[in-house]
Structure formats: C-alpha cells, structure tokens
Amino acid sequence: MMRHVLSDELGDFAAIYDEDVEVVSVSRPQAGACAVFSERLISSRQIPHLRWMQAANDYNAPAKVLPASIDVDVLSALSDTIAEAGELLGMLLDCEQVGVRLEILSAPMCPRFHVDFVHCRMLTTLSGVGTDWIPNDDVDWDVFMDLNATARPVKADAEIHQLPTGNWSLLKGGKWSDHFDGVVHRSPHVTSERLLLSLDPIL
C-alpha cells in the first residue's frame, strides 16, 4: 500500500526514497507571504509563462530570468523561493541542474488525470487552488486507461486529494522505478487564477 507524507520539516523529503511513499508535501513558514506576492504578480500581469534551466546550486539564477519590472520585494521573495527549492532538489536527488516552470493559469493546464513521465516533479501552487491527485491505491485503473472515459478514475469509496497551497510537494513520476507508475494528478477544475511553480531535477 502506497502512502504520502505531510510535514513541516524539510528533512522529511528524504522519505521520497521509501518504496511505499508516492508524495511528500511540506508546508513552508513563508507560504502566507508567498501568497501575497503571488496575488500581486497575478493582478499586475508581470509574469508570462516562463521556462528555464538552471544549476541547482545557482542562487542568483532566478533573478536573472524573472522580469526586471517586478517590484523589488516581490522579485526578491520569488527568487529566493525558486532558488531554495532548486538547491533542495539538488541535494536531495544529487542533480546538478533543475528545470523550472512558472506560470499564471486561468484554466486547467492539464484537465485530465495523468502521470508525468519524469523521475519526479516538485509542484508548488504559490497562489490559488492546489493540484488534484489520487493516491495510487485509490485509482480506478480501468477508467484511467480508457482515453474515452469521462468519469473520474477514482474508486467508489475513495476521494480526490488536493495539494495544499504553498506547500512544496514532491511527486514521483513514471520514470522513478519499474515498480511504480507515477502519481496520478491533474490541474484543479477552477476558473480562478493560480500561480504555479514546478521544478524538475535533471538526472
């Protein structure tokens, strides 16, 4: 049986190496401040869809990519968040580079439940509603594999979970191992805007 870890300690990310752990989600003390500056970014329309690759230990990399027009305090807080998350992934997974994606979403980016064919991915909803996901043991795999199905691929006695806004959430992907197919998840079906940060270790 697979399980997920909810914590407020960064050290608990090490649980991702446990064979029966599929998600580790850690609350951050600065989540409230992140939500404030994220809402400012959304309202100001200063963040386009940004994607880049950086050295995991390059603390200055985000500030070089983010638009210089962003308010100084917002730019500093956002840069620190991205840099700290990248540094953590570098140490945790022994990777030298991370791929970063930052975007404002006003509609579901991935509305259908799916699995990412990556080693793992860190998702952080900085503002708005968090990502939907289904624990592996609760997935109705017949529905999930049917591309024509309109029903949600969740067993009748189970629920869809949601990653908490502001948490750093690490999800195993389809390439993690031969014994796990990856975390089943999707963008939340909401019309409100959200600011999503994702980081992929380059392994």
Mean pLDDT by 10 residues, the chain (203 residues): 95 97 94 81 76 95 87 86 95 97 77 92 94 96 91 94 96 93 92 91 93
Q: What is the CATH number of the domain that holds 109?
A: 2.60.120
- First CA to last CA across the chain, in angstroms? 27
Residue 196: beta bridge partners? Answer: 103, 125
Separation in Å, CA 155 to CA 98, 144, 172, 181, 186:
35, 11, 21, 17, 16
Residue 109: what pLDDT? 61
Pairing relation of β-strands 21-26 and 3-7? Answer: parallel
Residue 110: what pLDDT? 65
- Closest by Cα among 152, 143, 83 to 111: 152
Domain count, the chain: 1
Tell me if the pTM is above 0.85: yes
Residue 138: what pLDDT? 97
Residue 37 tokens read as 């500056």
Alpha-carbon span 108 to 127, nearest angstrom: 14
Residue 118: what pLDDT? 95
Tokens 């210089």, residue? Answer: 68
CB atoms within 10 A of CB 67: 11
State the amino acid at position 88 in one-letter form: L
Residue 108: what pLDDT? 57
8 Å CB contact between 56 and 87: yes
Residue 144: what pLDDT? 94
17: domain range? 3-202
Residue 111 tokens read as 């509305």
Q: Can you give the length of the chain in residues?
A: 203
Question: DSSP letter at 154?
Answer: B
Buried b (16+ CB within 10 A) or exposed e, 76-109: ebbbebbbbbbbbbbebbebebbbbbbebbeeee
